Amino acid sequence: MVFLKVEMSWNVLISPSELSPKGLLLRKAVIVHLLEDVANRKASKDHGYYIAVSELKAISDGKVRELTGDVLFLVTFTCITQKPMKGEVLVGSVDKILKHGVFLKSGPIESIFLSEKTMSDYKYIGG
């Protein structure tokens, strides 16, 4: 598997209830929201699957949204990603066996489908 170290910048939105006059709590709220966003997005076409945030580079000064009071921060960070490349061999485990093919899991990739058409000697035996 190919692992990449990618620098990214994302907007992180903090609600007024999470704001505190103590900067450390605000920094913690930004980091927690960033980690939640990475976990929820899971992957992108350009970077592949997000594995871990490895370094926090910068947090911008927040911009207050007038209607809601939410504060928007631009966060620059480094993330370890895993992006499958054409011709790469992946190690996986069989998740489901179906009449028309097989589903595999490999690392963060939860669903890889191998069609019966790509496996000339594949024969489904129901059980």
| Tens-place pLDDT, residues 70-85 | 999 999 999 999 988 8
Number of Cβ atoms within 10 Å of the Cβ of 84: 16
The confidence score (pLDDT) of residue 108 equals: 87
pLDDT above 90 for 42: yes
The confidence score (pLDDT) of residue 38 equals: 96
For β-strands 43-44 and 48-59, DSSP reports them as antiparallel
* Average pLDDT for 38-47: 94
Domain assignments of the chain as residue spans, ordered by start: 3-82, 90-127
pLDDT above 70 for 120: yes
- What pTM, to 2 d.p., does this model score? 0.77
The confidence score (pLDDT) of residue 124 equals: 87
| Tens-place pLDDT, residues 85-108 | 888 888 899 999 999 999 999 988
| Residues paired with residue 69 on neighbouring β-strands, in sequence order | none
Query: Which CATH number fits the domain 3-82, given the four candidates 2.40.50.100, 3.30.1490.120, 3.30.465.10, 3.10.105.10?
Result: 3.30.1490.120
The confidence score (pLDDT) of residue 22 equals: 67
| Tens-place pLDDT, residues 5-27 | 999 999 999 998 887 766 668 88
Q: Let me know: does 85 contact 2? Beta carbons within 8 Å.
A: yes
d(CA 73, CA 118): 47
The confidence score (pLDDT) of residue 30 equals: 93
d(CA 105, CA 114): 11
The confidence score (pLDDT) of residue 23 equals: 62
